[in-house]
């Protein structure tokens, strides 16, 4: 990922936090003919690996046979930045964002007990905080059919790249103007982006 030094997010804790807060990622692979493929999937980071599953009917998992690395893209808060929010002129629009790219080699998990445990773990994480969390307690036949219909795999991580483009190149007053502007848009995600930019402006990132 192209990342100027000002935008580098190389702190492991920040990278892992972004992945945990934004678990709906994109898996990118290349088939034998060099054609890229992508699938949007829930992905969990766990101790140096990514825990992933997809529908068995999705042929993308068959690309793992080529032995190549895969790319998993996590997108954090992002949004349009209007130049009208800056004090300094001239200026042009831009897009601020945070992202983590994870590279690694996939490994299939075929043991039914492990597949069930990983699905239960995902459910427990996503249901945490609910007043009445749903548990993966299913009729045996239904559960067997569900597990047979998915492919579970790990991605053994080889490298992680993080990027946080948060108006670092602008003057503090311009950054503050962008933060204030984002808080007025009402667009989903803009408030979260404004919070990250405010943290960066205060020297907390």
Q: What is the CATH number of domain 5-111+150-195?
A: 2.30.110.10
pTM value is: 0.94
3-state secondary structure 67-134: CCCEEEEEEEEEEEECHHHCCCCCCCCEEEEEEEEEEEEEEEECCHHHHHHHHHHHHHHHHCCCCCCC
Report pLDDT for 203: 85
Q: What per-residue confidence (pLDDT) applies to 126?
A: 96
Residue ranges of domains in the chain: 5-111+150-195
> Can you tell me whether residue 141 is helix, strand or coil?
helix
Mean pLDDT by 10 residues, the chain (205 residues): 96 97 97 96 96 98 95 98 96 97 97 96 96 95 96 98 96 97 96 96 75
Return the pLDDT at 204: 57
Closest to 15 measured CA to CA, from 53, 72, 69: 72
Which residue's entry shows tokens 């039914």?
112
């Amino acid at each position: 990922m192209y990342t100027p030094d000002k935008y580098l997010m190389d702190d492991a804790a920040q990278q892992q936090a972004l992945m945990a807060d934004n678990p709906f990622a994109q898996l990118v692979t290349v088939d034998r003919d060099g054609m890229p493929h992508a699938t949007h999937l829930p992905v969990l980071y766990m101790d140096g690996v990514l825990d992933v599953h997809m529908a068995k009917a999705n042929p993308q998992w068959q690309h793992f046979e080529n032995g190549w690395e895969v790319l998993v893209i996590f997108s954090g808060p992002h949004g349009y930045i209007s130049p009208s929010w800056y004090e300094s002129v001239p200026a042009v629009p831009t897009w601020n964002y945070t992202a983590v790219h994870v590279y690694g080699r996939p490994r299939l998990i075929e043991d039914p007990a492990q597949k069930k445990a990983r699905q239960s773990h995902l459910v427990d994480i996503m249901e945490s905080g609910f007043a009445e969390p749903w548990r993966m307690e299913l009729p045996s036949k239904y559960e067997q059919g569900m597990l047979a219909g998915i492919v579970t795999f790990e991605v053994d991580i080889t490298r992680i790249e993080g990027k946080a483009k948060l108006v670092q190149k602008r003057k503090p007053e311009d950054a503050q103007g962008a933060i204030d502007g984002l808080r007025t848009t009402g667009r989903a995600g803009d408030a979260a982006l404004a919070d990250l930019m405010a943290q960066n402006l205060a020297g907390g990132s």
